[in-house]
């Protein structure tokens, strides 16, 4: 059994299943699932994507499972921590 997580496509806040079902995000007031996100992997046009986050939990875009495994530039093991530190925001 996998626990499925839902994120608002507008503000990326995590939503409960009930909130997704109600079709209104309580965080931004927009429809949480209306837009379709195509995979951002190179040459990939899959619509079966998930919002992905880097090692710091920052949203990096939507990638399908395959690209997340093989074609994802922000994974922990390949991440440029020095560059990432430059854009970290203290008040986040």
| Contact string (CB under 5 A) for Zn ion, positions 29-68, x = contact | ----------x-x--x-x-----------------x--x-
Is residue 49 within 8 Å of 39, Cβ to Cβ? yes
Rg for the chain, CA atoms, rounded: 15
Closer to Zn ion at the Cβ: 75 or 81? 75
Closer to Zn ion at the Cβ: 6 or 67? 67
10 binds Zn ion (CB under 5 A): yes
> Two tokens at 55?
């090692």
3-state DSSP percent of the chain in helix, strand and coil, to 5: 25, 15, 60
8 binds Zn ion (CB under 5 A): yes
Is residue 13 within 8 Å of 25, Cβ to Cβ? yes
74 binds Zn ion (CB under 5 A): no
Residue ranges that bind Zn ion, judged by CB under 5 A:
8, 10-11, 25, 27-28, 39, 41, 44, 46, 64, 67
């Amino acid at each position: 059994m996998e626990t499925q997580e839902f994120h608002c496509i507008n503000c990326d806040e995590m939503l409960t299943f009930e909130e997704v079902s109600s079709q209104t995000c309580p965080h931004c007031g927009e429809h949480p699932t209306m837009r379709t996100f195509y995979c951002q992997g190179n040459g990939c046009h899959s619509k079966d994507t998930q919002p992905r986050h880097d090692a710091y939990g920052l949203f990096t875009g939507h990638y399908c499972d395959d690209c997340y495994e093989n074609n994802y530039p922000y994974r922990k093991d390949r991440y440029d921590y020095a560059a990432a530190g430059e854009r970290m925001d203290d008040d986040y």
